[in-house]
């Protein structure tokens, strides 16, 4: 937006200064058209007429620019009529004040304004068209963002009730057994939901905040599954200020639990690590659940769309084999 504002300021100034200069260079006698008893020529030389012409064209530019608003509400001829009327009135006033004293002045001299007016129309049309395209693109991205937000909310709505129900069952069992980590389990569970509610409207989070959400989630899951889950976390602290799409890391780790079976004899191994090319990699061993259908990939597709909205290329990289599944999330 700042660039557009600068163009709208600089362009009319540049045109208003250059066009009179080009016109003067093409005249056989530069000062003949503006001579008024020697006043302009003697006191200002060529710069006096040049300055007056530049101010005149600058005023004409903005008159046409603001007239553009009438085009949408009325007919296009308003956009032509108003500049023509302005030129006619201004030259009439100038004639009675100055031009009638000039030698060789003719009314058809006003036709000299046709090229700059035509140029102004073409340039302003191009600028307005560019702004319309940019506005439509922005509206499209806003609609896409809202659509992805709705999809993310729908995805969370599918997961959260199931996750909460199982967590409460685990908590009930821990309380009955007077487990030492019962209080920490409650704190981690409440922290997880507090984090997800707090950051639900944000498009991205610092890696340090993502890890806080993830640690609360992993403590709950490890408390539920015990030795059936093994999680290794290796993150370079220097990367904590980098960003990820909100809850991206938690969604990928959650998929590990959702699509794989686990037991104390065949534990689910999850490794979360940073890479030298500024990714966070989540790797797990593949142990498909009995009777599970082919994964939909809805969560990863949604993450790819969110990266695209954030203008980050190759945001999600998936590497898969028969025994390993690895998802890489781009830091930015």
pLDDT at residue 42 in the model: 44
* C-beta separation of 327 from 316 below 8 A: yes
Residue 68: is it exposed, middle or buried by C-beta count within 10 angstroms (0-12/13-18/19+)? middle
Helix axes 114-176, 77-97, angle to 10 degrees: 130
Domain ranges of the chain: 2-136, 180-330
Question: How is domain 180-330 classified at the architecture level of CATH?
Answer: 2-Layer Sandwich (3.30)
Positions in the chain short of pLDDT 70 = 1-8, 19-52, 68-80, 91, 93-114, 121, 145-162, 200-201, 291-298
Which DSSP category does 36 fall into? S
Q: How far apart are CA 31 and CA 25, in angstroms?
A: 11
pLDDT score of 318: 95
Are the CB atoms for 189 and 171 separated by under 8 Å?
Answer: yes
Report the alpha-carbon distance of residue 122 to residue 118 in Å, rounded.
6
- The answer for 28, left when phi > 0, alpha when psi is -120 to 50, beta otherwise, is alpha
Give the number of other CB atoms < 10 A from CB of residue 229.
19
Task: Give residue 150's pLDDT.
Answer: 60
pTM reported for the whole predicted model: 0.56
Centre a 10 Å sphere on the Cβ of residue 245 and count the other Cβ atoms it contains: 28
Q: How many CB atoms lie within 10 A of CB 315?
A: 23
CB neighbour burial string for 284-300, b if at least 16 within 10 angstroms, e if fewer:
bbebeeeeeeeeeeebb
Cα–Cα distance measured from residue 192 to residue 161, given in angstroms and rounded to the nearest whole number: 14
Enumerate residues 6+ apart whose C-beta is below 8 A from 62: 12
């Amino acid at each position: 937006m700042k660039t557009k504002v600068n163009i709208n300021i600089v362009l009319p100034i540049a045109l208003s200064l250059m066009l009179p200069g080009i016109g003067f260079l093409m005249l056989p006698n530069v000062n003949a058209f503006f001579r008024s008893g020697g006043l302009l020529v003697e006191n200002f030389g060529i710069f006096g007429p040049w300055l007056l012409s530049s101010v005149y064209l600058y005023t004409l530019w903005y008159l046409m620019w603001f007239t553009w608003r009438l085009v949408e509400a009325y007919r296009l001829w308003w956009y032509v009529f108003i500049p023509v009327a302005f030129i006619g009135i201004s030259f009439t006033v100038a004639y009675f004040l100055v031009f009638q004293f000039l030698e060789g002045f003719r009314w058809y001299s006003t036709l000299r304004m046709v090229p700059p007016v035509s140029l102004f129309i073409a340039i302003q049309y191009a600028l307005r068209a560019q702004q319309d395209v940019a506005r439509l693109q922005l509206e499209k991205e806003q609609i896409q963002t809202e659509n992805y937000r709705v999809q993310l909310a729908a995805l969370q709505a599918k997961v959260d009730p199931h996750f909460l129900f199982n967590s409460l069952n685990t908590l009930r069992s821990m309380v009955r057994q007077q487990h030492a980590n019962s209080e920490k389990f409650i704190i981690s569970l409440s922290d997880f939901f507090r984090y997800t509610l707090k950051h639900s409207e944000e498009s991205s989070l610092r890696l340090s905040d993502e890890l806080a959400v993830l640690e609360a989630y992993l403590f709950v899951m490890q408390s539920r599954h015990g030795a059936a889950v093994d999680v290794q976390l290796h993150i370079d602290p220097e990367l904590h200020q980098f960003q990820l799409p909100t809850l991206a890391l938690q969604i990928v780790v959650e998929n590990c639990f959702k699509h794989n079976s686990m037991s104390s004899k065949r534990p689910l191994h999850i490794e979360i690590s940073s890479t030298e090319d500024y990714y966070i990699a989540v790797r797990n061993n593949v142990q498909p659940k009995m009777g599970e259908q082919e994964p939909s990939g809805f969560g990863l597709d949604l993450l790819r769309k969110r990266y695209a909205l954030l203008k980050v290329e190759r945001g999600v990289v998936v590497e898969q084999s028969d025994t390993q599944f690895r998802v890489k999330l781009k830091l930015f």
